[in-house]
Amino acid sequence: MKPHSPLTLEEFQHAQNNILGSAIRTPLVPLNVALADTEIYLKLENLQPIGSFKLRGAINAMRSADPKKLEAGVWTASMGNMAQGVAWGAREMGVKATVVVPEDAARSKLAAMEELGASIRKIPRDAWFNLILHSHNYPGMTGLFIHPASNRHVMAGQGTIGLEILEDLPDVNAVVTPFGGGGLTAGVASSIRVLKPSTRRYACELDTGAPLAPSLKAGKPVTITAEPAPKYASGFSGAPSVAEEMWPILSNVVDDSLLMSVKELATTIKLLVERNHIVAEGAGAAAVATALAGRAGNGKIACVVSGGHIDLDELNQILVSAANNLPKNKIG
């Protein structure tokens, strides 16, 4: 796939119209933690019908496609959230959906895919990453392939989040998105840059597997060796590199990629439940974790809570055993 040229305001506005009636306009609410010189806001994409922002990009991609190409069905490669978005859209449009998943995909996400009518094909994790980063194909798969990150219509759909943040918080100083495949970060950072270039635009990554941060530092995509991450964080940790076709956009619109530890992530999942009564998966809590640590700077910071899919037994373990080092601040 060729590298992408910059996304335009017209593409975001077209996507905004395309997703009407399927994806909802999610609220932007304050985090109930008082901090000196900083206000953290939560863009609650976990409230989408599928529990994730991915519905925006999936719906936009499918509604932008030639209807004839949809007749043979659609397929995607996903650990869960994009799969649900594609399955939801396929059900709306009356076409079949197939999802290629890594063998260690979370149980909760697999069950949700099947409930939406998608067929599932499991493949080794290495082969899955090769599909995502390089081949964009897999033996035996037919129909329209919707890449979970680098499909241009997917990025434009995710970028509608940025439009909504600026409508609700025009004086926002920084926006933070979790980085997995890069579609969310590329879309949101691009829409923010188009409309308010003075706003800082950050990705964030778990330090066990973070390809974007060293790539930005090196000025080119680099390959890393990821360490094992908790299953609740597997959706945005562990990719060995940044996809080459994504690099031109990401390197142009992202100011930096901020890292967090597993301990910080677990603590933030617990904090979101206790302070705002919000259930977030690992990626969903990531932006908040980095903002709480002060890495996104001061001012008004919008954090995209990207999804809420987490196995209940994992959530229970975090709530019971996560280190009790929540910020010693008053509830706002």
CATH number for 77 = 3.40.50.1100
Same domain, 131 and 158: no
Query: How many CB atoms sit inside 10 A of residue 253's CB?
Result: 22
Confidence of residue 30 (pLDDT cuts 50, 70, 90): very high
From 128, 145, 162, the end of a domain falls on: 145
Alpha carbons 191 and 155: distance in angstroms, whole number: 10
Report which of 286, 69, 273, 75 is spatially closest to residue 185, judged by C-alpha positions.
286
Where is average pLDDT lowest: 11-15, 234-238, 304-308?
234-238
Is 100 a domain residue? yes
What is the SS3 assignment for 75? strand
Is 330 a member of any domain? no
Count: domains in the chain: 2
Measuring CA to CA, which residue among 148, 153, 316, 309 is closest to residue 239? 148
Q: Are 129 and 103 in contact (CB under 8 A)?
A: no
Whether residue 165 contacts residue 143, with contact meaning beta carbons closer than 8 Å, is answered with: no
Q: Are residues 229 and 240 in the same domain?
A: yes
At 324, list the tokens. 């009790």
**Residue recorded with tokens 């879309």:** 187
- Residue 166: predicted pLDDT: 98
Whether 139 maps to a domain, the answer reads yes
- pLDDT tens digit sequence for 44-68: 999 999 999 999 999 999 999 999 9
Of 95, 121, 145, the last residue of a domain is 145
Q: Residue 105 — pLDDT band, cuts 50, 70, 90?
A: confident
In one letter, which amino acid is 44? L
Residue 328 placed within a domain: no
Q: So what's the pLDDT on residue 75?
A: 96
* d(C-alpha 167, C-alpha 26), whole Å: 12
- φ, ψ dihedrals at 24, nearest 5°: -100, 160
**Would you say 178 and 306 are in contact if contact means Cβ atoms under 8 Å apart?**
yes
Whether residue 2 lies inside any domain: the answer is no
Average pLDDT over residues 240-246: 88
If asked whether residues 127 and 245 sit together in one domain, one would say: no
SS3 label, residue 282? helix
Are residues 41 and 92 part of one domain? no
Burial annotation 227-243 (CB, 10 A radius, 16+ → b, else e): eebbbbbbbbbbbebbb
What would the DSSP string read from start to end of 177-190? EE-SSSHHHHHHHH
Distance, CA of 222 to CA of 229 (rounded, Å): 20
Same domain membership, residue 132 and residue 159? no
Is the confidence at residue 256, as pLDDT, over 90?
A: yes
| pLDDT class of 328 with cuts at 50, 70, 90 | very low
If you average pLDDT over every residue of the chain, what do you get?
A: 92
Please indicate, yes or no, if residue 272 is contained in any of the structural domains.
Answer: yes
Mean pLDDT across 175-185: 95
Rounded Cα–Cα distance for residues 54 and 147 (Å): 12
The per-residue pLDDT for range 116-139, each reduced to its tens digit, is 999 999 999 899 989 988 889 999
Same-domain pairing of 233 and 307: yes
Structural Rg of the chain based on CA atoms: 18
pLDDT of residue 104: 82
- Tell me, yes or no, whether 46 and 177 share the same domain: yes
Q: Which residue has the tokens 């910080």?
A: 264
Q: What per-residue confidence (pLDDT) applies to 229?
A: 84
Q: CA 83, CA 76: separation in Å to the nearest integer?
A: 7
Token digits for 5?
Answer: 């040229």
In tens, the pLDDT along 260-293 reads: 999 999 999 999 999 999 999 999 999 999 999 9
Predicted confidence (pLDDT) per residue in 195-213, tens digit: 999 999 999 999 999 999 9
Pick from 145, 174, 194: which residue ends a domain? Answer: 145
Q: Domain containing 102: what range? A: 55-145
Note whether residue 92 is domain-resident.
yes
Question: In angstroms, rounded to a whole number, what is the distance separating the alpha carbons of residues 43 and 71?
Answer: 35
The one-letter code for the residue type at 136 is H
First to last CA, the chain: 47
Of the candidates 183, 223, 229, 186, the one whose C-alpha atom is nearest the C-alpha of residue 206 is: 229
pLDDT at 2: 61
Q: Are residues 191 and 292 in the same domain?
A: yes
User: What percent of the chain has a predicted confidence (pLDDT) above 70?
Assistant: 95
